[in-house]
Amino acid sequence: MVAEIEHKITDSEWEVMRVVWAQNKVTSKEIIEVLQQKKDWKPATTKTFIGRLVNKGMLETETEGKKYLYSSKVSEGDIIKSSLNDFYNNICSREVGNTIAYLLSNATLSFKDIDILEKILETKKKDAVEEVPCNCVPGQCKCSEHGYSNCNSDHCNSNHSNEHQG
Amino acid sequence: MVAEIEHKITDSEWEVMRVVWAQNKVTSKEIIEVLQQKKDWKPATTKTFIGRLVNKGMLETETEGKKYLYSSKVSEGDIIKSSLNDFYNNICSREVGNTIAYLLSNATLSFKDIDILEKILETKKKDAVEEVPCNCVPGQCKCSEHGYSNCNSDHCNSNHSNEHQG
DNA sequence: GGTTTAAGTTTACATTTGTAATCGACTTTT
DNA sequence: AAAAGTCGATTACAAATGTAAACTTAAACC
């Protein structure tokens, strides 16, 4: 189970977190410098996001002698997982396979990555299904019913599906 | 290349789009009914989202005789891809493999899905790399440097990485 | 030791998002 | 034809987000 992440993280907050994750413990000055370079943010802007992340419980502070050091309270992997879970709540369950295929196609992977993925894929064969159930609308997506002749949903695998695919 | 999606789509807007995708052409009444069931939204709320989606150019309207029919101007797959691209801009390139592994592990897949994924994975072997480059911070993530002894980033594969992993 | 500087905290403000009521123009009903 | 219902459009408003200046306090410097 993935650690519970209380709040969603915004795009801007991601940027800050990445700097922290990349170095474990950092001063605000370091974060500010990196993001001034990378995102052209004014120092004040970065400060705001740091503050919000502390409030959200994503970052914690520690006073080393005189100065503040920021570190992350949540791992990058956990936030990624939490964000993806949120995202996957939005999409049709039938799109999951396509989605992974798309990601896979466009990814830069290491040999080790590929190795791991192959193994996982192998185990997935055991619980593969004939047709992934659709969860789009309560009464189920109409495209899975026969005779519905103008479905243009991507996940529709009826033979009518490519008649008018933008 | 994925179709350019002008605007980001919000969680609430996803819900509306899903109803439209599931049925191709729908009246507002149908959308409202589904989302009243599924999300307990007041009709006015759904109307707002429909309106915003029309403004964003995601939905288009057509008057069949007397009444409005809404249909999607963008395919579900394209929006998913666009959203995932946005998301992947936020995460470390080294996390991509892990991410796909996570998704794969938790996915419900069809036999066909698995088949496709296997083939893609096979082709990925050709351009696999020894170590995926990190894109977290301009000067590269410190965890890839030797001697940096307190990196707790998930993607750090130095041997010090599990000393204090929350 | 007073002044400059650095850094965390407060305040500011425009946009976007979530959530919804109300308005205005048709349509349908009586 | 007047009343009532539909439905798209307009308006409302709080919370979240992007972006940043100002304030405050403590440290550093001359």
Here the tokens at position B154 are 């998930």
Q: Is nucleic acid strand D under 7 Å from A63's C-beta?
A: no
Number of domains in chain A: 1
Dihedral (C-alpha) A128, A130, A136, A140: value to the nearest 10 degrees?
Answer: -140
| Amino acid type, B143 | C
Check if the beta carbon of residue B100 is closer than 8 Å to that of residue B45. Answer: no
Q: Are residues B15 and B65 in the same domain?
A: yes
Check if the beta carbon of residue A121 is closer than 8 Å to that of residue B121. Answer: yes
What number is the average pLDDT over the span A17-30? 92
Q: Are strands B67-72 and A59-64 parallel, antiparallel or unpaired?
A: unpaired
Please report, rounded to a whole number, the percentage of residues in chain A having pLDDT higher than 90.
67
Check if the beta carbon of residue A18 is closer than 8 Å to that of residue B92. Answer: yes
- Residue B9 φ then ψ, to 5°: -110, 140
Of A4 and A41, the one with more pLDDT = A41
Question: CB B11 to CB A121 under 8 A?
Answer: no
Q: Which of A125, A129, A152 sits opposite B108 (nearest CB)?
A: A129
Residues 6+ apart with CB under 8 A from B122: none
Here the tokens at position B122 are 């096979």
Q: Is nucleic acid strand C under 7 Å from B7's C-beta?
A: yes
B-contacting residues of A 105-164, CB under 8 Å?
105, 107-114, 116-118, 120-121, 124-125, 127-134, 136-139, 141-143, 148, 150-155
Residues of chain B in contact with residue A31, where contact means CB-CB under 8 angstroms, are none
The domain that holds A32 is classified in CATH as 1.10.10.10
Q: Are residues B99 and B65 in the same domain?
A: no
Q: Give the range of the structural domain holding residue B19, as residue numbers without chain letter.
A: 11-72
Write down the ipTM of this complex: 0.85
Question: CB B138 to CB A38 under 8 A?
Answer: yes
Q: Looking at the predicted structure, is the pLDDT value of residue A120 above 70?
A: yes
In a domain? residue A162: no
In a domain? residue A29: yes
Is the CB of residue B32 less than 8 Å away from at least one CB of chain A? Answer: no
Least confident of A98-107, A115-124, A140-149: A140-149
Q: Are residues B21 and B48 in the same domain?
A: yes
Residues of chain B in contact with residue A76, where contact means CB-CB under 8 angstroms, are 91-92, 95, 153-155
In a domain? residue A49: yes
Q: CA A24 to CA A91: how far, in whole Å?
A: 34
In a domain? residue B119: yes
Give long-range contacts, CB 8 A cutoff, 24+ apart: B148-153: B148/A23, B150/A24, B150/A25, B151/A22, B151/A23, B151/A24, B152/A21, B152/A24, B152/A72, B152/A75, B153/A21, B153/A22, B153/A24, B153/A76, B153/B92
In a domain? residue A67: yes
Least confident of A32-41, A98-107, A153-162, B39-48: A153-162
CA of residue A45 to C1' of nucleotide D21, angstroms: 10
Q: Are residues B96 and B146 in the same domain?
A: yes
Note the pLDDT tens digit of each residue in B41-91.
999 999 999 999 999 999 999 987 777 899 999 999 999 999 999 999 999
Residues of chain A in contact with residue B166, where contact means CB-CB under 8 angstroms, are 73-75
The pLDDT assigned to B160 comes to 39
